[in-house]
């Protein structure tokens, strides 16, 4: 019997609501599968912790979770605390030191869900966006001087390293090769950003040489938004910088029906530290505490967590259960135009786990 230890960090806002739903579903699934167990350790880090202790997580926080098999994360973001403090103090404080450099974001229109793109049939939108997750525009390089004076100045320097770009390109080409269409789009902005983005393009060409069986193309990020909307069927796997992919993946999530559905994995592919799985949405202040958060993004993230652990049959069973539930409009939360509550969706997925055949 395999025993996995999972660190659960709900964070703030609806983070707590969707993570407790996720833990419930994963626990039921492990019991149903019977060949592994999941032990959850819960960490109350985030906004409330900050108000008490002046920091988002304890100084030795990473030591407490570095030996876990995976991390299930909710959201960092509190109405009373500036966003850059919550983000850098918790989510990025885990992602960056744990070198979770590959952020993988699958997007599909799940059964029963309507894309806002009228002409899109379900199978025509099936993408995976790979986001560089360790450097680029979010490297944290920059500074601010002369605050409050008319001479005030500030910089955020986008920093790209050859090693960082090579490894994300290689990861993306490999992922593209594992998918049926073997098709990769490299997103860039090398017309306007003439240093780092030009290196990014050059490294893409070099790495492409290692993957002769992968078809690839290059697209400027602004044109990419148009292609996603106008010709979604021409896209399969996408690789983009930290900032570009952050924006494109929110668009992707919306085109697939709702931000509340979209999952993500922050992977350390070499497994030198645990990887982290989370819905892509944030704390959703406008709906927190009302019991109507869509937990599907968290459940799909749990599928990715199970795949990372190597528990593919369990991952498949959960994905089937999710699709069975989304297919039934009675279980759509308000973001999908329905009236279901988080607990209704959770109970329906747990029911479907027992019905699903695999
Ligand atoms: P958000 O994702 O919290 O919300 C955007 C919109 O989508 C809101 O209208 C919200 O109600 C809706 N929504 C999001 N998730 C939903 C779900 N599961 N079910 C139903 N509706 C859902 O983005 P925001 O408003 O830009 O940010 C709010 C806070 O969250 C900020 O503090 C931000 O920094 C933080 N944030 C954190 C993360 C993260 O930790 N990974 C990601 C994004 C935003
Ligand atoms: Mn984002």
DSSP per residue over 67-88, as a string? TSSEEEEEE---TTS-HHHHII
Of the residues 256, 274, 305, the one at which a domain ends = 256
Decide: 80 in ligand 1 pocket, CB within 6 A.
Answer: no
Domain co-membership, 76 together with 119: no
Q: Which ligand is nearest to the CA of 75?
A: 1
pTM recorded for the entire structure: 0.95
Cα of 247 from ligand 2 centre, angstroms: 6
Decide: 296 in ligand 1 pocket, CB within 6 A.
Answer: no
Of the residues 256, 287, 309, the one at which a domain ends = 256
In a domain, 328, yes or no: yes
Residue 121's pLDDT band, with cuts at 50, 70 and 90, is: confident
DSSP state of 34: -
Interval 133-144 mean pLDDT: 95
Nearest CA, atom 25, ligand 1: 284
Q: Is the pLDDT of residue 356 over 70?
A: no
Q: Is the pLDDT of residue 110 over 60?
A: yes
Query: Is 113 buried (19+), middle (13-18) or exposed (0-12) by CB count in 10 A?
Result: buried
Domain co-membership, 268 together with 306: yes
Q: Which residues pair with 11 in a beta bridge?
A: 75
Interval 243-260 mean pLDDT: 94
Distance from C-alpha of 301 to C-alpha of 264, rounded to nearest angstrom: 6
Residue 358's pLDDT band, with cuts at 50, 70 and 90, is: very low
3-state secondary structure of 128: strand
Interval 329-344 mean pLDDT: 97
Percent over 70 (pLDDT), the chain: 99
Which pLDDT does position 120 carry in this prediction? 81
In a domain, 342, yes or no: yes
Interval 173-183 mean pLDDT: 97
Which pLDDT does position 118 carry in this prediction? 81
281, 151 contact by CB (below 8 A): no
Residue 9's pLDDT band, with cuts at 50, 70 and 90, is: very high
Residue 307's pLDDT band, with cuts at 50, 70 and 90, is: very high
Decide: 93 in ligand 1 pocket, CB within 6 A.
Answer: no
Q: Is the sign of the CA dihedral 20, 79, 277, 301 positive or negative?
A: positive
Domain co-membership, 78 together with 127: no
Pairing state of beta strands 36-42 and 136-145?
unpaired
Distance from the Cα of residue 33 to its chain's centroid: 25
Interval 130-148 mean pLDDT: 96
Domain co-membership, 81 together with 32: yes
Decide: 262 in ligand 1 pocket, CB within 6 A.
Answer: no
Q: How many domains does the chain have?
A: 2
3-state secondary structure of 64: helix
Decide: 61 in ligand 1 pocket, CB within 6 A.
Answer: no
Interval 231-236 mean pLDDT: 96
Decide: 297 in ligand 1 pocket, CB within 6 A.
Answer: yes
Residue 298, H or E segment: helix 296-309
Domain co-membership, 248 together with 268: no
Q: What is the mean pLDDT of the chain?
A: 96
Residue 119's pLDDT band, with cuts at 50, 70 and 90, is: confident
Which pLDDT does position 33 carry in this prediction? 95
Decide: 283 in ligand 1 pocket, CB within 6 A.
Answer: yes
40, 6 contact by CB (below 8 A): yes
Domain co-membership, 222 together with 315: no
Domain co-membership, 95 together with 144: no
Range of the domain at 241: 115-256
Cα of 261 from ligand 2 centre, angstroms: 14
In a domain, 108, yes or no: no
Q: Which ligand is nearest to the CA of 286?
A: 1
Which pLDDT does position 124 carry in this prediction? 82
Domain co-membership, 194 together with 70: no
Domain co-membership, 241 together with 323: no
Cα of 105 from ligand 1 centre, angstroms: 16
Distance from C-alpha of 330 to C-alpha of 332, rounded to nearest angstrom: 6
Distance from C-alpha of 309 to C-alpha of 312, rounded to nearest angstrom: 8
Q: Is the pLDDT of residue 143 over 60?
A: yes
Interval 275-294 mean pLDDT: 96
Interval 132-154 mean pLDDT: 96
Note the pLDDT tens digit of each residue in 31-58: 999 999 999 999 999 999 999 999 999 9
Interval 20-29 mean pLDDT: 98
Tokens of 285: 């202040």
Interval 66-76 mean pLDDT: 97
Which pLDDT does position 122 carry in this prediction? 66
């Amino acid at each position: 019997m395999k025993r996995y230890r999972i660190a659960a960090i709900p964070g703030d806002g609806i983070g707590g609501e969707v993570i407790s739903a996720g833990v419930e579903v994963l626990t039921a699934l492990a019991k149903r599968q019977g060949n592994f167990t999941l032990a959850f350790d819960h960490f109350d880090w985030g906004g409330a912790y900050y108000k008490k202790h002046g920091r988002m997580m304890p100084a030795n926080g990473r030591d407490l979770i570095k030996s876990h098999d995976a991390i299930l994360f909710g959201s960092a973001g509190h109405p009373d605390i500036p966003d850059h403090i919550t983000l850098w103090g918790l989510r990025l404080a885990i992602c960056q030191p744990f070198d979770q450099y590959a952020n993988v974001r699958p997007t599909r229109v799940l059964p029963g869900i309507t894309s806002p793109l009228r002409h899109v049939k379900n199978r025509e939108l099936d993408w995976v966006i790979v986001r560089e997750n360790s450097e680029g525009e979010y490297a944290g390089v920059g500074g601010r001087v002369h605050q409050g004076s008319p001479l005030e100045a500030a910089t955020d320097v986008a920093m790209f390293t050859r090693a960082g770009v090579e490894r994300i390109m290689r990861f993306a080409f490999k992922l593209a090769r594992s998918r049926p269409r073997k098709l990769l789009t490299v997103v860039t902005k090398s017309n306007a950003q003439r240093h780092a983005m030009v290196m990014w393009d050059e490294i893409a060409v070099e790495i492409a040489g290692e993957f002769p069986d992968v078809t690839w193309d290059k697209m400027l990020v602004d044109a990419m938004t148009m292609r996603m909307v106008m010709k979604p069927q021409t896209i399969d796997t996408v690789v983009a910088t930290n900032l570009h992919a952050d924006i494109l993946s929110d668009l992707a999530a919306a085109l697939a029906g709702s931000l509340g559905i979209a999952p993500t994995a922050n992977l350390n592919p070499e497994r030198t530290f645990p990887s982290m799985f989370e819905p892509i949405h944030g704390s959703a202040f406008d709906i927190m505490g009302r019991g109507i958060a869509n937990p599907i993004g968290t459940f799909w993230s749990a599928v990715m967590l199970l795949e990372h652990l190597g528990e593919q049959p369990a991952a498949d069973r959960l994905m089937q259960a999710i699709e069975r539930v989304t297919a039934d409009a009675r279980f759509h939360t308000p973001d999908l135009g329905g009236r279901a509550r988080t607990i209704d969706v959770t109970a329906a997925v747990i029911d479907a786990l027992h019905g699903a055949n695999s």
